[in-house]
Amino acid sequence: MIQKWTKTLSSLFLLSSFVFCTEKKDNNDALLAGLLLSLANQVKVNSATDLVNESAEDYNENNWGLITGSTLNRFVSDWQANKPSHITGNLIILQTDVANRVAADSHLAYVKSDASKGVYVYELNDYRTGFRFNQTRDSGLFSNSVAYQANGEFVDDWLNTFGINPTRDLIVFAVGTGNGTTVAADPGTATATAAGGVQDITRGVYWLRYWGVDIKHLAILNGNLRSNFAQTYTAQTSSSKSTLPGKGNFSVKSIRVDNTIITSGLEDIYEIAKNNLEAQIPGLTTKQFLIDARPTAQFGASASRSAGVNGNITQYITTSWDSAGAPVVWTATGDRNIAETTGKTYVPFERICCLKYSRVSIDIL
């Protein structure tokens, strides 16, 4: 597939040649210099294939992407000697919560930081309690949308709060113990407790990738810190974390990369479904899969549904087509308003897996 930046490159060269041949030399020089400056500032638009990152068969060999506790220990023990060759900056470790949240834990809460060696450790809530890379938007039609990936202003502020330069530093996301609550036993025996933290850090990588950060500057710890690091590498743990630095001034504008292909618009999903999973969509391969990751408990018939609105399994939200009216919550009796006396349950969009159907224009950059 010919990418947008290649087309732009060709157009600029053609335009510069035309100007050079038809204008006076002094004007030519100024125009050509402007065109070359514009060319240098072009945004590279990646396809989905460009964003593929293949893990090593042995996770211990990964220096980015999914890394193991032993790799993190190697980094923390001597970052200057063991940092990957493409990393010129710091090691920034971001924990969802502490690593000793199981009752009666005796080991320490944080990975050990050492500013003198470029190792910094923070909690995600050090930026803003509860912020997990999403925000509501005003689309012009809905002023308070379902939250999806936060905009460029947020990502700049987030990076600068932690003093991160994602073109130089390695950012490691790690679940501490679980989902921020003290539990009686290891979250390995309480999967739901740990799942929220895992969702948080994978969303963080997704968010930064969306805004152009190279995967080679991002990592996720395989497993949680409590089980896979703090109990094994005790010398590399601490009871304290780093203090937030002074606000930086990095902007994702400087990355000049467009990875927004990882979020598909509703129109793309429609084309994929309409064309039997073989739609011709720029940036995607010619064959696609659609995966609805919602569990049956969220939308199935009342006999199989175990989740609903505000925890009430007799109420759930669905889309509708057979009558007009304002959105309402329906009960377990079904989707159809037989009496046609009240509104139906309309929602602005459905969600498939983790993709939110509202593409962010590049002009937000």
Cα–Cα distance measured from residue 75 to residue 26, given in angstroms and rounded to the nearest whole number: 55
pTM of the model: 0.72
Asked whether the beta carbons of 162 and 244 are under 8 A apart, the reply is yes
> Mean of the per-residue pLDDT values for the chain?
76
For the record, the structure tokens of 189 come out as 């025996």
pLDDT value at residue 280: 87
Cα–Cα distance measured from residue 57 to residue 71, given in angstroms and rounded to the nearest whole number: 15
Cα–Cα distance measured from residue 305 to residue 314, given in angstroms and rounded to the nearest whole number: 8
Asked if residue 316 has pLDDT above 80, the reply is no
pLDDT value at residue 250: 97
Phi, psi of 257 (to 5 degrees): -130, 135
State the number of CA atoms in the 13 A half-sphere of 258 facing the CB: 19
Amino acid letter, 3: Q
Asked whether the beta carbons of 220 and 65 are under 8 A apart, the reply is yes
Exposure string (b/e) for 46-59, b if CB count within 10 Å is 16 or more?
Answer: bbeeeeeeeeeeee
Biggest CA-to-CA distance, the chain:
81
Using one digit for the tens of pLDDT, what is the confidence trace for 198-233? 889 999 999 999 999 999 999 999 999 998 999 999
Contacts of 128 (CB under 8 A, 6+ apart): none
Using one digit for the tens of pLDDT, what is the confidence trace for 99-127? 998 877 888 999 999 999 999 999 999 99
For the record, the structure tokens of 207 come out as 């968010």
pLDDT value at residue 30: 63
More confident residue, 223 or 27: 223
Amino acid letter, 142: F
Residue 209 is inside which H or E element, if any?
helix 191-210
- Alpha-carbon distances, residue 143 vs 113, 136, 138, 365 (angstroms): 42, 8, 4, 21
Cα–Cα distance measured from residue 168 to residue 221, given in angstroms and rounded to the nearest whole number: 19
CB-count exposure of residue 279 (10 Å: 0-12, 13-18, 19+) = middle
Asked whether the beta carbons of 146 and 136 are under 8 A apart, the reply is yes
